[in-house]
């Protein structure tokens, strides 16, 4: 068994030596280069584009504007396609837009012989706008007189006089609104002696900051448009390109090489449709479109900033009687993943601390800001920020220890979510909390840090989370796999689930090796994916890949094994029931005798003069399950009150993500996610200019991503309860490590200082006011 072992990554050598080729490495040197012209207003209509001077420049091949592109609105979210029109993603943008919805929107593109020429040409294009009032905050977008960002009639007048177009009493700038109602909130809160705890919690706009930007090149060949792109979802991007260009889906081919990270930004069609279109405008010549980091910050996707109001009514013993949640999310200028992120976050609350009376609402609202899309955690880091800060606020109000409070009221063993049918089989929440408490010496530290009075104070805090695995039952959950037996007994494995830096190909290789019965090194997962020959699958998102691919691999391996053993029967006359494949050999089960190697069998099957067969197998596996993944973070902080500076000393994550496929890779996943949680907690935040709607710090210098030197001691422990619905007992781990870090740090600060910081990130800038208002500065002066 190779599953469960920390084997080296299959791509380690290529990546360490620089052999690995990424999209930009693969593009022809003589490709045309496209650059996008972005709007310099936050809201309005492009009235006129004067491209004459730019077009006359030597080396400029063509300039395409928002007046030239197909009149087709398309969706961009990387969701599985749905046959139900009501469940399909919102189609609300064109390849280039005359109605400009944020500062940085795409209005034209230059195709030139090189990047320098293209950039120079951008500067010579003159744009005349007709401006509209813009909004950067959700509450402003909901004002009566707010201009409509997506009016039914997409013209200036309709946009400006938005309030005329209200329907069902809801503002037309609302992208979507969902409610959860359980029990009778109003009646429940009448109970005498209830303690009311209220909180307002807020998260920032954050950038994914993957290393490789969304590099793309496109060309027409073989009667198709081929798009090579740094994407998490080749098959979905293929579909979206076809939708955007209004062509048959089979006429698009997407190739995914090695990828330098995605974190959800590339779980969207980004500039792939535009790049494909631009190639069609220059006779199918190769056109390269590589967004800069600055464009990636502003004109790709971001993490949704969400504001939560939570009100809980609890009894003196802590029992939660009734809760009310309100989540308001400004989504930016286009829908992208839209409301599903806010809705997913909202759905987390009732399950984590079950309660009989709930009233919850989430609104996602169009705003004139960069577009929010998927990002690692998909709404859960935001929800956990609010929910787990709030739990500490309850515990504090009741004078209970936050660990103790959670142990008492968190989701009980055997809890089943009626919608997803997910079950907490093993009381994993409590197991992870208890394990964390012990390993972290939580009580010891807490005791040590009590009654501090100086400027530098330490504290400990914790937060928990749960996360789904895959997208059932909201969307379809299926994956296809193909296996191809080579003459030497090695096997190519094709899956549409993508290696984007996380180690997926290694996990797939391990599972495939065990599923077929060959050595790990005899599995070659085809990492460069080409939708023309790729089995269908939807790609990297929802922490689904290891879980769903496990099924597809196993099903396909079983078909392959059956074919192999059928040939073995022909060659050995031993009944297939008495045969097995172990370590790449055909063995007789009876006495474990090796009858032949798989390579021998492959040769004899392939080159047979009367029964030739190229042994391959292909299958789709669909699941109707999902799985709870659980965990928590314990954090230890040191707060310099006067400097408004939080230093995280130690951070421990405990995960129950089921059985680990590769413990070393699992640790690496956890470390990466914890680091991302740290940035979210402490530093990262878009600053948007109120006067223009422009992002002020949309670059790596001003945005201040944590560096490796900023990382504290990170540790992770796994509790490997085998997930019963999962073929390898595994469940989600990709996103979970990002979910509980920030509130754990916040709760540690609360423990250290007594101040509840409700706005992430807890940067000096953001914590000065709460520290001041709390009187802390006076205390330590």
Residues at the interface with a copy of itself (CB under 8 A)? 10-11, 13-14, 17, 19-21, 29, 80-83, 219-224, 239, 242, 248-251, 283-284, 476, 478, 480, 482, 484, 486-492, 494, 522, 524, 526-528, 530, 532-533, 535-536, 603-604, 606-614, 616, 618, 620, 622, 624
Report the residue number, 494 or 753, with the smaller CB distance to a copy of itself. Answer: 494
Alpha-carbon gap, residue 656 to 546, rounded angstroms: 15
Min CB(421)–a copy of itself separation in Å: 15
Report the residue number, 507 or 706, with the smaller CB distance to a copy of itself. Answer: 507
Report the residue number, 236 or 632, with the smaller CB distance to a copy of itself. Answer: 236
Min CB(478)–a copy of itself separation in Å: 4
Report the residue number, 463 or 481, with the smaller CB distance to a copy of itself. Answer: 481
CA 655 remoteness from chain centre:
18
Min CB(621)–a copy of itself separation in Å: 9
Q: What angle do helix axes 402-409 and 380-398 make, rounded to 10 degrees?
A: 110
Report the residue number, 556 or 763, with the smaller CB distance to a copy of itself. Answer: 556
601 close to 586: Cβ distance less than 8 angstroms? yes
Provide the 8-state DSSP code for 304. Answer: P
Report the residue number, 25 or 198, with the smaller CB distance to a copy of itself. Answer: 25
Nearest 5°: phi and psi at 99? -85, 105
Min CB(744)–a copy of itself separation in Å: 38
Q: What angle do helix axes 504-516 and 545-572 make, rounded to 10 degrees?
A: 30
Give 310's strand partners. Answer: 199, 325
Report the residue number, 530 or 779, with the smaller CB distance to a copy of itself. Answer: 530
Min CB(83)–a copy of itself separation in Å: 5
Q: Which of 74, 81, 223, 214 is nearest to 532 (CA)?
A: 223
Min CB(134)–a copy of itself separation in Å: 38
Report the residue number, 79 or 101, with the smaller CB distance to a copy of itself. Answer: 79
Alpha-carbon gap, residue 669 to 661, rounded angstroms: 12
DSSP letters for 370-412: PPB---TTTTHHHHHHHHHHHHHHHHHHHT--HHHHHHHHS--
Give the 3-state secondary structure of 441-481: CHHHHHHHCCCCCCCEEEEEEEEEEEECCCCCCCCCCEEEE
Q: How far apart are the first and last CA of the chain?
A: 62
DSSP letters for 675-687: HHHHHHHHT----
Report the residue number, 206 or 525, with the smaller CB distance to a copy of itself. Answer: 525
Give 364's strand partners. Answer: 176, 329
Min CB(246)–a copy of itself separation in Å: 12
Min CB(476)–a copy of itself separation in Å: 6
Report the residue number, 424 or 625, with the smaller CB distance to a copy of itself. Answer: 625
Nearest 5°: phi and psi at 121? -65, -35
Q: Which of 285, 187, 269, 194 is nearest to 232 (CA)?
A: 269
Give me the torsion for CA of 129, 132, 138, 142, rounded to 10°: -150
Report the residue number, 19 or 643, with the smaller CB distance to a copy of itself. Answer: 19
Alpha carbon of 617 to those of 532, 557, 570, 600: distances in Å? Answer: 17, 7, 19, 19
Report the residue number, 90 or 757, with the smaller CB distance to a copy of itself. Answer: 90
For 128, the enclosing helix (H) or strand (E) is: strand 126-131
Burial (Cβ within 10 Å: 0-12, 13-18, ≥19) of residue 26: middle
Q: Which of 185, 432, 213, 456 is nearest to 323 (CA)?
A: 185
Alpha-carbon gap, residue 42 to 136, rounded angstroms: 9
Give the contacts of 510 (CB within 8 A, at least 6 positions apart): 2, 3, 5, 7, 520, 661, 662
Min CB(259)–a copy of itself separation in Å: 14
Report the residue number, 105 or 499, with the smaller CB distance to a copy of itself. Answer: 499
Alpha-carbon gap, residue 78 to 273, rounded angstroms: 13
Report the residue number, 67 or 419, with the smaller CB distance to a copy of itself. Answer: 419
Alpha carbon of 498 to those of 152, 171, 259, 728: distances in Å? Answer: 38, 39, 9, 19
Helix, strand, or coil (residue 771)? helix
Report the residue number, 29 or 708, with the smaller CB distance to a copy of itself. Answer: 29
Give 49's strand partners. Answer: 127
227 close to 236: Cβ distance less than 8 angstroms? no
162 close to 172: Cβ distance less than 8 angstroms? yes
Report the residue number, 251 or 293, with the smaller CB distance to a copy of itself. Answer: 251
Report the residue number, 607 or 701, with the smaller CB distance to a copy of itself. Answer: 607
- Determine if residue 59 is left, alpha or beta; phi over 0 gives left, psi from -120 to 50 gives alpha, anything else beta: left
CA angle 178, 738, 432 (to 5 degrees): 100
Alpha-carbon gap, residue 40 to 87, rounded angstroms: 34
């Amino acid at each position: 068994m190779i599953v469960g072992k920390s084997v080296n990554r299959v791509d380690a050598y290529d990546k360490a030596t620089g052999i690995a080729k990424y999209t930009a490495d693969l593009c022809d040197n003589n490709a045309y280069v496209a650059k996008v012209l972005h709007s310099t207003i936050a809201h309005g209509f492009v009235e006129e584009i004067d491209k004459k001077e730019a077009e006359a420049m030597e080396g400029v091949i063509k300039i395409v504007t928002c007046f030239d592109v197909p009149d087709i609105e398309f969706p961009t979210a990387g969701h599985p396609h749905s046959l139900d029109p009501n469940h399909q993603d919102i189609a609300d943008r064109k390849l280039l837009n005359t109605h400009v919805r944020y500062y940085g929107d795409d209005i034209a593109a230059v195709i030139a012989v090189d990047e320098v020429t293209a950039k120079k040409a951008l500067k010579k294009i003159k744009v005349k706008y007709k401006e509209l009032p813009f909004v950067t905050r959700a509450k402003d977008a909901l004002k009566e007189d707010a201009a409509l960002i997506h009016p039914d009639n997409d013209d200036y007048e309709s946009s400006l006089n938005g309030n005329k177009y209200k329907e069902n009493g809801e503002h037309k700038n609302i992208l979507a609104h969902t409610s959860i109602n359980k029990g009778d909130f109003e009646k429940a809160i009448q109970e005498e002696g209830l303690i009311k705890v209220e909180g307002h919690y807020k998260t920032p706009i954050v950038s994914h900051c993957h290393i490789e930007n969304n590099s793309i090149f496109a060309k027409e060949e073989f009667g198709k448009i081929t798009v090579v792109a740094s994407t998490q979802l080749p098959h979905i991007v293929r579909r979206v390109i076809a939708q955007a260009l209004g062509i048959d889906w089979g006429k698009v081919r997407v190739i995914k090489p090695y990828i330098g990270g995605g974190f959800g930004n590339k779980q969207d069609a980004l500039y792939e449709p535009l790049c494909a279109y631009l190639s069609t405008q220059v006779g199918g010549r190769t056109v390269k479109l590589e967004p800069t980091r600055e464009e990636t910050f502003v004109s790709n996707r971001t993490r949704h900033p969400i504001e939560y109001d939570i009100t809980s009514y609890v009894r003196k013993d802590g029992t939660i009687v009734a809760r009310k949640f309100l989540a308001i999310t400004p989504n930016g200028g286009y829908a992208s993943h839209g409301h599903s992120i806010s809705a997913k976050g909202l759905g987390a609350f009732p399950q984590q601390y079950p309660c009989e009376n709930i009233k919850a609402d989430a609104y996602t609202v169009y705003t004139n800001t960069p577009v929010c899309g998927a990002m690692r955690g998909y709404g859960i880091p935001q929800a956990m920020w609010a929910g787990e800060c709030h739990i500490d606020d309850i515990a504090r109000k009741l004078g209970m220890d936050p660990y103790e409070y959670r142990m008492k009221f968190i989701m009980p063993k055997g809890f089943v979510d009626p919608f997803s049918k997910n079950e907490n089989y093993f009381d994993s929440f409590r197991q992870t909390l208890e394990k964390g408490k012990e390993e972290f010496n939580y009580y010891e530290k807490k005791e040590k840090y009590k009654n501090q009075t100086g400027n530098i104070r330490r504290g400990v805090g914790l937060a928990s989370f749960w996360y789904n695995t895959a997208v059932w039952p909201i969307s379809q959950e299926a994956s296809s796999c193909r296996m191809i037996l080579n003459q030497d007994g090695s096997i190519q494995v094709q899956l549409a689930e993508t290696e984007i830096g996380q180690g997926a190909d290694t996990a797939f290789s391990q599972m495939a090796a065990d599923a077929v019965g060959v050595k790990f090194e005899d599995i070659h997962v085809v990492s460069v994916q080409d939708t023309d020959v790729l089995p269908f699958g939807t790609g990297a998102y929802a922490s689904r890949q290891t879980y769903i691919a496990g099924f597809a691999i196993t099903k396909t391996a079983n078909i392959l094994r059956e074919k192999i053993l059928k040939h073995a029967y022909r060659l050995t006359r031993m009944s297939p029931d008495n045969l097995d494949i172990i370590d790449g050999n055909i063995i007789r089960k009876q006495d474990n005798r090796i009858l032949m190697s798989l390579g021998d069998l492959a040769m004899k099957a392939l080159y047979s003069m009367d029964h030739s067969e190229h042994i391959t197998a292909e299958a789709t596996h669909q699941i109707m399950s999902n799985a709870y993944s659980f965990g928590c973070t314990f954090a230890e902080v040191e707060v310099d009150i006067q400097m408004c500076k939080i230093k995280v000393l130690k951070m421990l994550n405990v995960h129950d993500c089921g059985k680990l496929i590769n413990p070393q890779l699992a640790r690496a996943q956890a470390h990466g996610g914890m680091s991302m949680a740290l940035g979210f907690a402490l530093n990262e935040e878009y600053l948007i200019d109120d006067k223009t709607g422009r992002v002020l710090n949309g670059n790596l210098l001003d945005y201040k991503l944590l560096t490796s030197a900023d990382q504290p001691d990170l540790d992770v422990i796994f509790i490997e309860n085998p997930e019963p619905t999962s073929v390898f007992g595994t469940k989600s781990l990709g996103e979970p490590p990002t979910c509980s870090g920030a509130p754990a740090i916040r709760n540690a600060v609360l423990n250290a200082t007594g101040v509840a910081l409700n706005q992430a990130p807890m940067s000096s800038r953001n914590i000065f006011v709460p520290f001041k208002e709390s009187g802390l500065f006076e205390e330590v002066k």
